[in-house]
């Protein structure tokens, strides 16, 4: 099959104005070892400030663990004096940072970059497994090591460095550029002290749909798939809901146990849920389908039967089998079920009166929060009837049948309680055929090469963009560097997180060029 690849891919975009900036920065400065060392040390210094967020932190001003973020803000001001002098800088809710580079044309909607300054804990139990201490910010000439070096301080340092390099060349934008830096992206699904407040500020300032486009972190790097380099900006992200299942039964002494304790019954429930997964579907609105089609048309080494399955029958059994065969691929087309936290029992000689499990779901684009709840009721209502449990399903109560637990040696019915926390529907889907996606894709190809195939993807997790959905219809999530620069692959959220300095330079170059390209183009 011979295809015109440019028919399916947008053309390369390079900035046309100010070629002196290209010659000075892109062609010379970004290639120099001194520049690499400079930005590596900037990131290393950022890593050394342990801006950790934990689940369930109290509001800013009430929890002393937020105090370290003052030190981080002071570090940025010291590291980027030119940025702080030229841009309007604001603090939102003490630790959220908002940088505004005011453009000369007020009729142009702003471009928004997003990042976050917080990191996940390094974990005391794994501290000895790190090659270098997790907050050492060690730089060995090739990698910057430490928690947050990749997620997400690298993006923040790269953005501010790109702006700093443009300021050195006296670049003045036509289009306003905004950088919004949250501080609790890692802090748990129900926490919203940073990005929510930043989004509210921007909404009040620019209104709904007041931003041209939004770019945030996402899939790490340019990935090699099917013998081809792909850049995969996520144009949508899955929904989210946590479900707690609680079993309650009368207690007693362990010397005379029933056939099933509360923990035993809970084990049955967990097995039932895990054995009845949500249905995999690849619907037209899912950007993963667009990626697969682009891969089938343009990749170098996709197996022929898979290529045929994608191009001839997009909903074919063969294609779904391929997607389901790998958990990373499966996550793109199915609502996931992850049994993450379990609690039950107080003492070995005392029957547990309560046992509970917390189950996380990332909701596929074809499903909803209500679909998840209905799935639980359909599976567990018959089970509750069988074992004579009263069922409280998300606030709706059903009585027990009063016929089974006597056989279990218990004189009273038990309770099965289902509760949902933090309900988030899947995001709107940004249109990959929109001109603004072509601006992004053209810039990516200009930075990483015309052989890179740019295709939209689904993000299985959630970023801070969940608070920004109504600010722009075009939201993209991607960390712009080649994953191949680290042969060990991405290490975010685990031991020995590190960032290749070559990747960091690529990020600076991307932000530098994307600012210039978007400043020149018009809808």
* 332's tokens: 């793109």
> Which pLDDT value is given to residue 246?
98
Q: Is 216 annotated as a binding residue?
A: yes
> Which pLDDT value is given to residue 347?
92
Cα 101 to Cα 9, 87, 426: the distances in Å are: 31, 5, 32
Highest mean pLDDT among 152-156, 281-285, 400-404: 152-156
Active site residues: 118, 185
> Which pLDDT value is given to residue 318?
87
Percent of the chain with pLDDT over 90: 86
**How far apart are alpha carbons 383 and 216 in whole angstroms?**
44
> Which pLDDT value is given to residue 66?
97
* 12's tokens: 């390369």
| pLDDT at 206 exceeding the cut of 60 | yes
Q: Is 493 annotated as a binding residue?
A: yes
Closest CA to 389 of 293, 260, 484: 260
Place of tokens 């685990």: 494
- 88-92/96-101 β-pairing: antiparallel
* 197-213 average pLDDT score: 98
User: 463 by DSSP, 3-state: which?
Assistant: coil
Query: Are the CB atoms for 208 and 448 separated by under 8 Å?
Result: no
Query: Are the CB atoms for 11 and 442 separated by under 8 Å?
Result: yes
Q: Which residue has the higher pLDDT, 17 or 486?
A: 17
| pLDDT at 200 exceeding the cut of 50 | yes
* 13-39 average pLDDT score: 97
**Three-state secondary structure of 488-517:** CCCCCCCCCCEEEHHHHHHHHHHHHHHHHH
Query: Are the CB atoms for 436 and 185 separated by under 8 Å?
Result: no
> Which pLDDT value is given to residue 473?
97
Q: Is 361 annotated as a binding residue?
A: no
5-237+427-520: CATH homologous superfamily? Zn peptidases (3.40.630.10)
Spell out the domain ranges in the chain: 5-237+427-520, 239-272+334-424, 280-328
Q: Is the dihedral of CA 193, 196, 197, 198 positive or negative?
A: positive
Q: Is 151 annotated as a binding residue?
A: yes
Region of poorest pLDDT, from 46-60, 178-192, 275-289, 494-508: 178-192
> Which pLDDT value is given to residue 461?
87
* 73-96 average pLDDT score: 98
> Which pLDDT value is given to residue 5?
42
CATH 3.10.129.10 fits domain 239-272+334-424: no
Calculate the average pLDDT of the chain.
93
| pLDDT at 57 exceeding the cut of 60 | yes
> Which pLDDT value is given to residue 4?
42
| pLDDT at 2 exceeding the cut of 90 | no
pLDDT 10s digits, 371-428: 999 999 999 999 999 999 999 999 999 887 765 444 444 446 799 999 999 999 999 9
Q: Which residues, 6 or more positions from 390, have their beta carbon under 8 angstroms from its beta carbon?
A: 384, 397, 398, 399, 400, 413, 414, 415, 416
């Amino acid at each position: 099959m011979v295809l015109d690849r440019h028919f399916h891919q947008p053309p390369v975009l390079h900035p046309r104005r100010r070629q002196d900036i290209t010659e000075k920065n892109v062609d010379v400065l970004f290639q120099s070892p001194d520049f690499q060392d400079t930005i590596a040390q900037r990131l290393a210094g950022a890593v050394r400030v342990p801006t950790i967020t934990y689940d369930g932190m109290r509001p800013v001003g009430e929890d002393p663990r937020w105090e370290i973020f003052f030190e981080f803000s002071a570090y940025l001001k010291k590291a980027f004096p030119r940025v702080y002098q030229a841009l309007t800088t604001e603090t939102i809710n003490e630790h959220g940072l908002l940088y505004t580079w005011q453009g000369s044309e007020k009729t142009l909607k702003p471009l928004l970059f997003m990042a976050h300054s917080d990191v996940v804990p390094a974990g005391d139990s794994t501290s000895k497994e790190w090659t270098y201490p997790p907050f050492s910010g060690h730089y060995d000439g090739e990698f910057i090591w430490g928690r947050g070096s990749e997620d997400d301080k690298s993006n923040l340092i790269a953005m501010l460095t790109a702006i700093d390099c443009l300021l050195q060349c006296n670049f003045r934008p036509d289009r306003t550029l905004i950088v919004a830096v949250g501080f609790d992206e890692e802090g748990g699904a129900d926490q919203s002290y940073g990005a929510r407040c930043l989004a509210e500020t921007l909404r009040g300032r620019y209104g709904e749909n007041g931003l041209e486009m939004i770019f945030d972190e996402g899939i790490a790097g340019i990935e090699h798939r099917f013998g081809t380099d792909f850049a995969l900006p996520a144009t949508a992200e899955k929904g989210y809901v946590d479900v707690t299942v609680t079993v309650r039964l009368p207690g007693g002494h362990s010397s005379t146990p029933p056939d099933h304790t509360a923990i035993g019954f809970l084990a049955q429930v967990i097995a039932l849920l895990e054995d009845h997964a949500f249905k995999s579907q690849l619907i037209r609105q899912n950007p993963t389908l667009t990626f697969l089609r682009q891969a089938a048309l343009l990749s170098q080494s996709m197996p022929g039967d898979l290529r045929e399955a994608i191009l001839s029958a997009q909903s074919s059994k063969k294609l779904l089998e391929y997607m389901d065969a790998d958990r990373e691929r499966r996550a793109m087309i199915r609502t996931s079920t992850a049994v993450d936290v379990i609690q039950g029992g107080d003492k070995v000689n005392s029957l547990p009166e309560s046992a509970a499990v917390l189950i996380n779901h990332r909701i596929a684009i074809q499903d909803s929060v209500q679909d998840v709840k209905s799935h639980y009721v359909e599976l567990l209502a018959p089970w509750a009837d069988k074992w004579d449990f009263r069922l409280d399903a998300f606030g709706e109560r059903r009585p027990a049948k009063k016929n089974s637990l006597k056989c279990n040696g218990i004189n009273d019915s038990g309770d099965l309680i289902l509760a949902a926390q933090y309900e988030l529907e899947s995001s709107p889907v940004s249109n990959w055929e929109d001109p603004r996606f072509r601006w992004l894709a053209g810039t990516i190809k200009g930075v990483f090469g015309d052989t890179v195939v740019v295709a939209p993807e689904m993000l299985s997790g959630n970023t801070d963009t969940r608070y920004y959905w109504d600010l722009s219809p075009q939201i993209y999530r991607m960390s712009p560097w080649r994953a191949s620069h680290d042969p060990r692959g991405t290490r975010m959220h685990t031991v020995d997180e590190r960032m290749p300095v070559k990747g960091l330079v690529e990020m600076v170059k991307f932000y530098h060029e994307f600012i210039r390209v978007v400043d020149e183009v018009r809808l």
